[in-house]
Amino acid sequence: MWKKTVTGSALRGSIAAICGIAFLLFGYDQGVLGAVISLPSFRDEFDNPNRNLEGIIAAIYDLGCFAGAIIAFLTADRWGRKGSIAWGSWIMVVGTILQTSSTEKIQMIISRIITGIGNGINTVNVPIWQAESFKSQNRGAMLVIQSALIALGHPLSTFMGLASSQAEPSSFSWRWPIAFQGFFLIIILCVLPFLPESPRWLVQHDRVEEATVVFAALEGKTATIHDDKVLRERDMVVASVQQERELGEASWAEVFTEGKNRNISRVLLGAGPYMFNQWSGINSLAYFLPITFERNIHLDSQLALIISGVLGVQYFLVSWLPYFFIEKAGRRMVMMLSAAGCSFCMVMITVMLEVNTLASNWVFVAFCFLFFDIFSWGILPVSWMYASEIMPLRTRNKGVALGVGSHWLSNFVVVYVTPGAIDNLGPKLYIIWAVLNASFVPITYFFYPETARRSLEDMDEVFLNERFGITKCKKPGRRKLETDSDSEADQVPYGGDKPALTQQTQAVM
C-alpha cells in the first residue's frame, strides 16, 4: 500500500526508474533468444531444432505479446495501472521460470507464450502509468529515453549470452541469460507497492481525494492538497475525464465506418507506421543478429556475439538523436529519409553478400550498423507516435489498439520466416526488405499528413478538408511546442490529452 513517504523529484524519479527497467526488460526479451539459440548446449537440449522450429520458438513470443496487449486493453481500467503491471510481471515470472527449466520443445514454446502475454500487458500499461504521472511537457524526453532503453536491452542480452557461453557445454550457458529476466522483474515487483497509482486513473474511478494526495506528492515535499497548483491540476484532469465521459467510447462499428471524420482512413494510416517498423526488416536482423553473422559470413559464434553486442551499444547511443530534430523536421520528413536510407543499406547488404569476399563481408557488417542507426532516427520514433496523433478522441483507444495489433502480428510473421529465409533465400532476403523500405517513401509522401506541432483539433480539420486520401498537409504546423513556454506547460495536466502526449500511452511495443 502506497504511503506518502517519497515526494517530488524523488517520487517522479522512482516512477521513471521502474518504467525504465520495464522498457529495458522489453528490449532484453527481444534479443535474448537470438543470443543463445545457436549455442551447442541449447541445440542439444532441444534436439537440434530445424529452421522452422527456430522460427516458431522465437516468433511465438510475439503472439503472446499480441494476446497480452489485447488483454491489457480490455482489463486495464478495471485493474488499474499498477495492478496491471503487477499482474503482467507475475505472469512473466512464471514464464521465465518455465523457460529456464525447459527440457522439451513444447515447454519452451508454451513458456515463451506465457512470457509474451505478461510482457504484452506491461508494454501497454507501463507507458500509460508513466504518462499519467508526469506533465506532458516531459513527453519528448520520456519517449527518447524509453526508446533508448529498449535499444539498450539488445546489447545487454547479447553480452549476457557471450559471457555465459563460456560455460559451454553446460546448459547454464543458455539458461542463465533467460533466467536473468527475473532480476528486472524482482526489482519491479519489490518497488511497485511503494509507488502511487496513476492520479488520472483514480479520477476516472471517482477517487478524487486519493488523486489529490498523489498530485501533491508529485509536486514536492512542501506541497499540500490545499495548494492552488495542486487543486488546479486536479481540476484540469477532472474536467478532461468529464469531457471523455460526455463524448463516450466509440463502438467498433464506428471505428470501421468512414463518415465525416474519416475513421477508417485514420485507422489504416495509424496502423501503417507500426507495420513500416516491422516490414523494414529490423527484427529480421535484431532477433537473429548473431545467427545472421554466423550463417551469412561464417563468423564464429563468439565473434558474432561480440559484434552484435557492439552494434547494439551503438544503436542505443544514436537512438537519442531524434529528440533534437523530430519536432522541427516533422514526422513525414524523418520517416521518408529514414526509409530511403534503410532501403539503401539493404541494397548494399545484398550486394556485399553476393560479392562474398573477405572485404565485402566486413562492408556487410558496416551496413548492418548503419541500417540500425538510420532506422532509429526516423522509422522507430515515428511508428510509435503517429497513430495517437491522428486519431479523434472517441476512437483513439480502439484505433491505437488495432495499430498495436498489426505491429505484433507483423513482428510474428517477420521473426517466424527469418531463420528459414536466411538459408533458402540468402542475399535475396535483404532485397525484399530494400524494396519494402523504398515503398514507404511514396506512401508517406502522398498519403500521410504532417502531425508535428498540430493539436488534435488541427488534425480533425485536416481530415475534414482532405476527402480523397492524397494529403496536402506536408509541413509541420506553426504552433509553438509546449516545451517552448514554461507558462503554457504549467497549464498542461498530468496525463493531458495533448496529441504528442498520447504517443506515450502506447509507445513501447
pLDDT of amino acid 362: 95
Interior CA angle at 399 toward 397 and 400, to 5°? 70
pLDDT of amino acid 461: 85
202-210 — which CB contacts under 8 Å span 24+ positions?
203/234, 203/237, 203/238, 203/241, 204/77, 204/241, 208/234, 208/238
pLDDT of amino acid 509: 41
For the chain, 509 residues long, the average pLDDT of each consecutive 10-residue run is 75 89 90 89 92 90 91 81 93 96 95 94 85 65 74 90 91 95 95 91 89 88 83 86 77 84 88 93 88 89 91 90 85 95 97 93 95 93 83 77 85 90 90 97 94 80 80 79 42 48 38
pLDDT of amino acid 137: 53
DSSP 494: B
**How many of the other CB atoms lie within 10 Å of CB of 224?**
11
pLDDT of amino acid 481: 46
pLDDT of amino acid 107: 96
136-141 — which CB contacts under 8 Å span 24+ positions?
136/482, 136/492, 136/493, 136/495, 136/496, 136/498, 136/500, 136/501, 137/482, 137/483, 137/489, 137/492, 139/498, 139/500, 139/501, 139/503, 139/504, 140/323, 140/326, 140/327, 140/483, 140/500, 141/323
- Give the DSSP per-residue string, 198-214: PHHHHHHTT-HHHHHHH
- Whether omega for the bond prior to residue 427 falls within 30 degrees of 0, making it cis, is no
pLDDT of amino acid 487: 41
Residue length of the chain = 509
Q: 134 phi and psi, to 5 degrees?
A: -130, 155
Q: Which residues contact 214 (CB under 8 A, 6 or more apart)?
A: 196, 197, 199, 202
Rounded CA-CA distance 459/451 in Å is 7
pLDDT of amino acid 395: 79
